[in-house]
């Protein structure tokens, strides 16, 4: 078959799902185009360490074209997909300068992931940023570190207390990881670096609407997590919802009624919703969507009525699987194999079968919870397992070794954080807006997702 006649596979998204499809097609007689609106594959599970100043972004976000450079049948394009024209078999996208692109396909795989959900309170986005992208993590890092700098400058005790109050909303794994890092910064890393302010005075709150932290985990692991957080100085507020906020406060509704807490730093870790591409696919195929906007796909990951179109990962609803990395990776591998089988003339499709490898979350240094293969682990053992698994899944030996080295230096030897840069521009952009809010970058609707 000549190069021009080869089967064209367009993969939307170079995250866990998209990259695994692409790699699974490495030796197939196809041309693969991976189109992503960023130039990198992001290892989201370690994003919180960028927000905490532990890791530089490059170690967890290698360039996509670098990742696939040895795969001669694949190419990467930096463009934002705007339209999936299923009748014409064309993906429409726009380049960074707005130039239109048309990508014809024979097989389409959509793996656009998910974004934050503010549960209908989108106005919270400007006061309580979430964390999904490298920009989000950098923004959070600036905001957290800047709060300590502003506390050092403040002469009014009330203002200082506000800068030293941190509220994380949502006690899922990401909220727990973030709040644990704020507590470590305040109580372990920063105290010796400040002169006017005692960073031990920081008040760190974790709000959770449900009755326990890390809701997907077993009660024993939930109790361990809450106990560790409290020992680290975190106030855990269960059955508590954020019902209002502005630039200097958050109002929560808990078991004792409403309470307003004065704070300059709120972090949103409470919910996710599927990429808008899921809604677009659902509208064009008549497929259903769940409460998180995820499209309901067939057992072989195709969308209804379109055997040549697959959707995978965080943007799909399949067998009640959670929005975590393993389903996206396994679905990606499965779809790659299925495309190869079809090209070989094998139309039998065994449904996707998920192999549950368990789940884990860190709380702080030497403290994590892990639930794997029917066993539950906490403390140093859980932490070691967590570290091993996360390093293993990073892309490239350079990034793995760099991460282990950076961890050893930051967490074990220096008890410091090596990536704490706040530039002049960032400092002035974030802090000196008069009495108004310290605003998060608000994305336009086309960039959400």
Ligand X SMILES: Cc1cc2nc3c(=O)[nH]c(=O)nc-3n(C[C@H](O)[C@H](O)[C@H](O)COP(=O)(O)OP(=O)(O)OC[C@H]3O[C@@H](n4cnc5c(N)ncnc54)[C@H](O)[C@@H]3O)c2cc1C
Pairing, β 265-268 against β 316-317: unpaired
* Binding residue count for ligand X, defined by CB under 6 A: 35
Q: Is 44 among the residues that bind ligand X (CB under 6 A)?
A: yes
Q: Is 17 among the residues that bind ligand X (CB under 6 A)?
A: yes
Interface residues for ligand X in 271-290 (CB under 6 A)? 275, 277
Q: Choose between 264 and 294: whose C-beta lies nearer to ligand X.
A: 294
Q: By C-alpha distance, which of 183, 232, 235 is closest to 205?
A: 235
Please tell me the distance from the alpha carbon of residue 323 to that of residue 313, in angstroms, as a whole number: 7
Q: Choose between 313 and 336: whose C-beta lies nearer to ligand X.
A: 313
Q: Is 113 among the residues that bind ligand X (CB under 6 A)?
A: yes
User: Could you say which of 213, 314, 369, 399 contacts ligand X (CB under 6 A)?
Assistant: 314
Is the Cβ–Cβ distance between 333 and 353 less than 8 Å?
A: no
Residue range at the interface with ligand X (CB under 6 A); choices 65-73, 194-202, 252-260, 324-332: 324-332
* Phi, psi values for residue 179, rounded to 5°: -65, -35
User: Could you say which of 30, 68, 245, 328 contacts ligand X (CB under 6 A)?
Assistant: 328
Q: Is 177 an active-site residue? A: yes
Q: Is 68 among the residues that bind ligand X (CB under 6 A)?
A: no
Residue 341 CA neighbour count, 13 Å, CB half: 12
Q: What angle do CA 65, 66, 72 make, to 5 degrees?
A: 65
Other beta carbons less than 10 A from residue 154's beta carbon: 17
Q: Is 81 among the residues that bind ligand X (CB under 6 A)?
A: yes
Is the Cβ–Cβ distance between 69 and 49 less than 8 Å?
A: no
Distance of CA 135 to the CA centre of its chain: 11
Q: Is 176 among the residues that bind ligand X (CB under 6 A)?
A: no
Q: Of 162, 177, 208, 331, which is the active-site residue?
A: 177
Find all residues with CB under 8 Å of 195, minimum gap 6, and list them.
152
User: Could you say which of 9, 10, 11, 18 contacts ligand X (CB under 6 A)?
Assistant: 18
Residue range at the interface with ligand X (CB under 6 A); choices 41-49, 187-195, 198-206, 375-383: 41-49
Q: By C-alpha distance, which of 394, 382, 313, 386 is closest to 354?
A: 313
The H or E element that residue 95 is part of is none
Q: Is 364 among the residues that bind ligand X (CB under 6 A)?
A: no
Residue range at the interface with ligand X (CB under 6 A); choices 107-115, 226-234, 256-264, 340-348: 107-115
As annotated, the active-site residues are 177
Q: Which residues form the interface with ligand X (CB under 6 A)? A: 12-18, 35-38, 42, 44-45, 47-48, 80-81, 111-113, 131-132, 173-174, 275, 277, 313-314, 323-326, 328, 449
């Amino acid at each position: 078959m000549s190069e021009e006649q080869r089967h064209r596979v367009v993969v939307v998204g170079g995250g866990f799902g998209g990259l695994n499809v692409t790699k699974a097609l490495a030796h197939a007689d196809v041309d693969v185009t991976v189109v992503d609106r960023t130039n990198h594959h992001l290892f989201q599970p370690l994003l919180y360490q960028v927000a905490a100043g532990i890791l530089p972004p490059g170690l967890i976000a290698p360039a996509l074209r670098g990742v696939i450079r040895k795969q001669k049948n694949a190419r990467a394009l930096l463009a934002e997909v705007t339209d999936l024209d299923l009748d014409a078999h064309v993906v429409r996208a726009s380049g960074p300068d707005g130039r239109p692109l048309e990508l014809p396909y024979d097989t389409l795989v959509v793996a656009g992931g998910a974004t934050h959900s503010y549960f209908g309170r989108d106005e919270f986005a400007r006061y309580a940023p979430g964390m999904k992208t490298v920009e989000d993590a950098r923004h959070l890092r600036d905001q957290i570190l800047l709060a300590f700098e502003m506390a050092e400058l403040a002469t009014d005790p009330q203002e200082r207390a506000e800068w030293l109050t941190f509220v994380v909303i949502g006690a899922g794994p990401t909220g727990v990881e973030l709040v644990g890092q704020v507590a470590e910064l305040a109580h372990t890393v920063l105290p010796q670096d400040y002169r006017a302010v005692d960073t031990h005075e920081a008040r760190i709150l974790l709000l959770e609407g449900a009755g326990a932290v890390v809701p997907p985990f077993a009660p024993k692991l939930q109790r361990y997590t809450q106990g560790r957080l409290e020992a680290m100085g975190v106030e855990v507020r269960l059955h508590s919802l954020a019902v209002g906020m502005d630039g200097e406060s958050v109002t929560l509704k808990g078991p004792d009624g409403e309470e307003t807490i004065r704070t300059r730093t709120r972090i949103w870790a409470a919910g996710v919703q599927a990429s808008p591409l899921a809604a677009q696919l659902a509208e064009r195929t008549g497929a259903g969507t769940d409460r998180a906007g995820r499209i309901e796909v067939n057992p072989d990951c195709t969308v209804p009525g379109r055997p040549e179109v697959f959707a995978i990962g965080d943007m799909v609803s399949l067998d009640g699987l959670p929005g975590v990395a393993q389903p996206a990776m396994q679905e990606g591998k499965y779809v790659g194999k299925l495309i190869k089988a079809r090209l070989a003339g094998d139309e039998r499709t065994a449904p996707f079968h998920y192999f549950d490898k368990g789940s884990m979350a860190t709380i702080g240094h030497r403290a994590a919870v892990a639930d794997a293969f029917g066993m539950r682990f906490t403390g140093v053992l859980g932490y070691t397992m967590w570290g091993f698994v996360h390093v293993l899944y990073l892309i490239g030996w350079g990034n793995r070794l760099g991460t282990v080295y950076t961890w050893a230096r930051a967490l074990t030897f220096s008890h410091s954080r090596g990536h704490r840069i706040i530039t002049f521009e960032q400092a002035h952009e974030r802090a000196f807006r008069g009495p108004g809010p310290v605003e998060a970058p608000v994305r336009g609707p086309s960039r959400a997702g």
